[in-house]
Structure 1
C-alpha cells in the first residue's frame, strides 16, 4: 500500500475529525480545531486502517482515538507548561489554563461520543481501558520525576501505559484481535523510545519540539537513564541540577544508540507477532519506520 493509496483515507479522517470538533462552536471548538490543525503523524488512524477492511468502522474508530490522543496532548502541555506543540503555541499558552483544561475535556467527550453514537460498546470499553492506562502512566511519570534511580523496568512500564496502550487500542479497535493488540503494544513502546531519543538529539525545526525538554523537566527517559548510569553530571542534571551542555554528555555515553537498539528489539517483537493481518507487509514496514523516523 503506497502513500497515494492511503492518502484519501487519511483525508477523510481529517474531515471527520473537524466535523466532530465543530459540533459545539465556541472557545473549546476553536482551541480543539487548533490542536488538530497542528498536525501529527496520524499513526493510530493508519494502524486502524491497516488492521481492518471495514472502512466505516475504521473511520469511526480513527476519529475517536485521534480525538482522545489530541486531548491527552492538550492536557500534557498544560501539566508540563510546554509553550509549543509541533512548532505552534499550545492552548494554555494562548488562552490560559482553564481554557486548555476544558478543551482537553471536550476532545475526550467527543472521542467517546463517536463510538457511543454508533452503539459500539466494545469499542468504548477498549478506549476506556486505554484512557485508564494513560492516567496510571501519567501518575507514574509524576512519581519518577527527577529520579535518576528510576529502573529501566519502571520506565518501560510507564511508557507501556502512556503510549503503548493507546497503540494497542488502535489495533484492537480496528481488528478486535488480541494478537494484533500485542503488535500495537510493542509498536507503541518502540515508538516512545524513539521519541525519547529524538528529544535528546532531534532538531526543533524537524520535531516541532524544543530539544532537551525531558531533561529540563526531570523526566527519566531511557537515554537519560542509561547515560546517568555512566555520567554523574547527567545524573545530577536529571535530579534537577544544571542542564547546560548535558545533552552532549548524554550522546557521548552511547546512550542514544543503545536506546535505539532496545527500540528495534520491541519493533522486532511487534513484527514477529503479526499473523494473518490484512496488510502484513505494511505493518512490518510501519514497525521499522517508527524507530527510524527523524521527527
Structure 2
C-alpha cells in the first residue's frame, strides 16, 4: 500500500511538472508572435509614410508658377509728335506750334500734349480752340492681369467719367469705327462766362494702350459758336491719327513687352488744361 501511494505521488508530481512545462512553452511561443505583430505594424507605418512623402513632393513640384501673357505694346510715341502739322493746322490754326508736353515720370507708360489757338478778330470777336491728347499704357501684371484687359477696364471707366462731366449739357455718345480696337465719342456743351464751349472727347483703345483726345471750341466776344459736327469730325480724324502713331511706335503689329510683376499701371496721365476749358 505504501508503494502504491508513493507511485501515485510521483505520478501526480510528473503531471504537475508536465503542466508547468506546457505553460512555459505556450508563453514562449506567444512572445515571437507578439514581436512579429509589432514588427509588421512598424513596417506598415514606415511604408505608408514613404509613399506619402514622394506624393507630397510631386504635388508641390507640379504646381505651376503664376504667369500672364505679355502686353502687345511696350512703347509710346512722343506725345507732341502724334499729330501731323497739317492736322494741327486744321484743329488749332493759330497754335499748331504751341504744343505743351505734360509731366510724366515714365514716358513709356504715360504721356500727354496740349495745344491752344486764339484767332482774335478784335471787335468782331475771336475763335478759341483747345486740343489735348493723352496716352496711357498698361503692362501685364501677374496680380492684376493682362495689359489689354486692364486697358479695356480703364477705357470703360474713362468713357463713364467723360459722360459724367459736371455741368455738361446735351451729352451724346456714339461708337467710333476704324480707330483702334474700340473707340467711343462723347460730346456736350459747357456754358461759361466767356461763352458756350463745344466739347468733343474721343476715347480709344489699341491693344494695351488707351488714347484720350479732348477738343473744344468756342466763339468769344460775340463771335459765333462753332458747329459741333465740324468739331467732332476733326476730333475723330485726329484720334485716328494718334492711335496710328501708337501702333507705329511699336512696329506694324506691336512689339511684345516682357511682363514685369513689379510694375503696376498708374493713373491716367493728365496735363494742365487751358483755363477756358475749366469750369
Task: Give the TM-score range, shorter chain.
Answer: under 0.3
More strand by share: 2
Larger Rg: 2
More helix by share: 1
Higher relative contact order structure (alpha carbons within 8 Å, sequence separation ≥ 6): 2
How high is the TM-score relative to the length of structure 2?
A: 0.28
